[in-house]
């Protein structure tokens, strides 16, 4: 791997990480704290949606983000020919 392709690889890697961190922040902080009152008007199985996001929803989204990251990094590794 050349120096230029290594820099491009890390630049794309950081870009993926920042995008996923933004989603995680919006879901965990935004839905669990900032938008809680608006989301509490919706109920799922008797639980208010704001409470659900604060307790469980952000964890599910975090697990989903891990899966998205693994798949995105797999594609990125193949693109730069650094896969196993």
Q: For 15-50, what is each residue's pLDDT tens digit?
A: 999 999 999 998 888 887 888 888 889 988 888 888
Q: Has residue 83 got a pLDDT over 80?
A: no
Beta-carbon neighbour count of residue 39 at 10 Å?
Answer: 20
**Exposure of 53 by Cβ count < 10 A (0-12 exposed, 13-18 middle, 19+ buried)?**
buried
Query: Is the pTM higher than 0.85?
Result: no
Nearest to 15 by CA among 67, 74, 69: 69
| H helix or E strand, kind and range, residue 39 | helix 36-39
């Amino acid at each position: 791997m050349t120096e230029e392709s290594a820099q491009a690889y890390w630049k794309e890697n950081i870009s993926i990480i920042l995008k996923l961190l933004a989603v995680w922040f919006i879901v965990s902080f935004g839905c669990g704290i900032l938008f809680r009152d608006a989301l509490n008007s919706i109920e799922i199985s008797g639980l208010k949606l704001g409470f659900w996001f604060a307790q469980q929803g952000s964890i599910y989204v975090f697990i989903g983000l891990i899966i998205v990251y693994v798949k995105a990094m797999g594609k990125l590794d193949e693109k730069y020919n650094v896969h196993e």
